[in-house]
Structure 1
Amino acid sequence: MSANDYYDIIVIGAGPAGSTFCRLISDKYKVLLISKPGSKPCGGLLSPDAQRALSKYNLTLPKDILVDPQIFAVKTIDLSTGRQRYYQRSYLNLDRNKFDNWLLSLVPDNVTIINAVCTDIYKDGEKYTITYNAGNTSHFVKCNYLIDAGGAGSIIRRKIFKKRIRKYIAIQQEFEDTVQSPFYSCIFNKETTDCCSWTISKDNRMIYGGAFPINGGRKRFELQKDKMIKQGFIFGKEIKFEACVVYRPSTLFQFALYKDNVFAIGEAAGFISPSSLEGISYAMETARLLACAFNKNNNAKKIASIYKRKTFSHRVKIMLKLLKCPFMYNQFLRNCVLKSGITSIKIEK
């Protein structure tokens, strides 16, 4: 193993969390970013919190990242009761892959980026040895610090932190759009999932996705689609099918922040909204906070202490969102909210 195979920091995962950390980390560190090829299911809506996170760096989105249409209301559908309401929302509709690639393009040249899949991790004295596959060949690298930005299903969380967290399978299909009036909807149905589903129009395509229990997830997804068809929804020709694991934290004890020179950011650490499954804002914010801690210190325990303290408000925010969940996912309470029309808007035709 040559000197080029040693790094101060290795980051696993080049999504919003990994890219943001590598963009902000000081050049005093020798950094390797391992980017796994491929994409993951995501609605591709940039929330106000994520927009606020971007604004802190004075970053402006390139126009080719945005897609048509830009919609300012979400249609909430309860398949069990048939109730529907519209609510005002200020999301940006974008191409998620282009967004991730744009964030990655902002990473400075002093960070080494490779497209590979991390296959193994083990502690070797005070360092970590990482095994990754690139071009059907296994490679080995070592580092002092390891950053887990790999999202849900992270190998680092499984092997190092070993902390349980509530998991779902996110399933998403892309179709040719048959809806004359594009819309964004949030769908609830207690028979198929205790989480949410969504439809989003994007550049003459329609995305239908949702988060389902791991066991029987695909069957539940298809059953929910059948329920939508019975209510008059028309699916066009299928273009693409995707699925991945998604986290949905339910207690403070499910967060994994630091252990033995290993840090976690974004969804890998548990930072994702349990009510909406929005994670981009938390990914960028936790990455920023950890990079700032590294830039001001070179002692792992001090860095960990700062990171834990600075992310406390974000963990509390996520726990507070759990209080919102009953009004969204308990059918009786949700029905009361939809029936009352509180904060809903009337669509003029």
Structure 2
Amino acid sequence: MQLIIALALWVLVGALAIGTRRRTDQSILYAAIMIAVSLTLNIDAVYFAADGLLGGRNYADLPANLLLLVGVYFLSRAILRASSPSRACATDRPFRGGAIVTACLMVMMFVFIDAPQTSGSFMQDFGNQPAAAAYSLIQFTYLGIVVALTGTICLRFAGRMSTPARRLGFRIIGAGCGAAVLTVLSVVGMDLAHVFGAMSLLALFASAYDVLNLAAFLLLCLGLSLPPILGWVTKRIDRRKLRGVLPDLTRIWNDVSAQHVELGDETHRHTPGMASRDVDTVVHRTLVEIRDALLFDPSVRDRLTDEDLALLTATETHIGAQSASA
């Protein structure tokens, strides 16, 4: 399960990296990387190797959990900015202050935990210590509050997103946040049951945690990766369509360009967009020059068939829709 979650997060990092050039704010990518590194450290082989470098006393558990804390803070901030900028501004200061206070309290509690040997199940082995229970409760209380508010806002504002992929993505993120809140409640139950020795309750909460934790991360990864992946696929399909109509647009441009030469106008004698390898740019420039020619000499329209005019209109509409959804 730890391996599945870690792999899902690294797939998310790869998906978010697709849209790096189009995003001015990269905090969601950085947050995903931090969370991915944190949960990669949950894999026993990785954790044992990292902790061995730090002295073999479970010191690797603290940076792993601090990375998760900071990653969730940046992730929630990025999600809130995308869904409701006003809510993001309102919650930024308390979220940031809460993260700082939580991190400081976690470090203080960790100092009092007696964990002399590297353990692949830290809380299972040492969770009966009050300091360990407090260490976990402090962290997950903050995470629970943050994901609960983030999920609520995602579901509330999902319908206002600009594309179907984003609307679906935000609804899935909201569902993932709901599962994450239930995961937090199961962790709180495990921590309290372990401290008070209620082992039957501990086993019950542990079984719920396994399912909820996996569901939460898979839903969050799916919801966050859906818009960039679908955007990339859609862009590939759009470019293929534009390459398909480019020969006809070039033929139309040649027709109207020839008329310009006959009239003594030399401004359109170069092939539009040929210096660029980007088909979007080539098509856009070709359309602009065709429309300029039609404005310069309306009689050129007589050289074009109804199919040619329909192609021009359809391509312009398509280019406009692309720009609106970018």
Same fold (TM over 0.5): no
Normalised by the shorter chain, which TM-score bucket?
under 0.3
Q: What's the TM-score, normalizing by structure 1?
A: 0.24
Question: Which structure is larger by alpha-carbon Rg, 1 or 2?
Answer: 2
Name whichever structure is richer in helix by fraction: 2
Name whichever structure is richer in strand by fraction: 1
User: Which protein, 1 or 2, shows the higher relative CO under an 8 Å CA cutoff with sep ≥ 6?
Assistant: 1
